[in-house]
Structure 1
Amino acid sequence: MNWKSFIVGAAVGILSGYAAREIFSNNSKVSPEKVLENVKKQFTQKGPITGSWIHMAVEPYEIHDIHYQVYKGGISKNIDGVNEQYEFAADASTGTLIDVRRLSAS
């Protein structure tokens, strides 16, 4: 084996590895289960949760003229005998909570 072949092969391998890392890091998404776990942690800071759900498919979402790919879900809480329901949207790439809306209190 001559050194030129070795150096060319090593360079191609390094470049391929770098390109694969960039492709996979840009397309990676946080699992919906992990997103729901993080949202529940944030909501339990102000009292216990009585129920929660998350839609497993990623959906397009726009807020303040910014477009996201999100997981949508919901949280139910019972505060002083009053059942409160919330809907949330969390960024699928980072898991960051983007929007929360109070749906009802009964």
Structure 2
Amino acid sequence: MKKRWVLLGLVCFGAGLLAGRSIKEREHVSPEKALKSIRDMLSEKFTVSGSWIYMKPRDFNKNGLNYTIYHGGVTKRSNKQDTPYEFYVDAHTGTILEFFPSHIENV
């Protein structure tokens, strides 16, 4: 009888761990999904010739509000020239918080 209770306890513990991990994973939009969404949206306005995104979210403060963000970038192709831009996207909603030209130093 005790073995059944121990086994039942272990099964419930395992199910709780799996459920907790599943919920934790759903808290963030995947970086791939965020990047695809941004590329698709920007492709309607101009030609996107490249893109990248950091896979690990980080903390960001804007106007006194704290966000968890992904940092990424796209390259705009126009008149045979590439212009790089960067963005910060909210990791929870996929909303672009900032979009700005990259600061590339000529070396």
**Under a length normalisation based on structure 2, what TM-score does the superposition of the two structures give?**
0.70
Preserved contact between residue 84 and residue 104 of structure 1 (Cα < 8 Å): no
1:54-91 per-residue CA deviation (whole Å, 9 max, x = no partner) reads 00001011111111000110000111122111100111
Mapped to 2, the partners of 1:32 and 1:45 lie a distance apart of 20
Give unpaired runs (5+ residues) of structure 2. 1-18
Mapped to 2, the partners of 1:92 and 1:58 lie a distance apart of 7
Give unpaired runs (5+ residues) of structure 1. 1-19
Q: In the alignment, which residue of structure 2 is the partner of 1:73? A: 72
Report the RMSD for the aligned CA atoms in angstroms.
Answer: 2.6
C-alpha spacing 1:104/1:45, structure 2 compared with 1 (3 Å): farther
Tell me how far 1:104 sits from its aligned partner: 5.4
SS of 2:38's partner is: helix
**Under a length normalisation based on structure 1, what TM-score does the superposition of the two structures give?**
0.70
Q: What is the letter of the counterpart of residue 91 of structure 1?
A: D
Q: Report the number of matched residues.
A: 86
Q: In the alignment, which residue of structure 2 is the partner of 1:33? A: 32
Q: In the alignment, which residue of structure 1 is the partner of 2:51? A: 52
Task: Give the alignment of 1:12-23 within 5 angstroms.
Answer: none
> Which 4+ runs in 1 deviate beyond 4 A?
none
SS of 2:102's partner is: strand
Q: State percent identity of aligned pairs.
A: 31
Mapped to 1, the partners of 2:100 and 2:79 lie a distance apart of 20
Q: In the alignment, which residue of structure 1 is the partner of 2:83? A: 84
SS of 1:41's partner is: helix
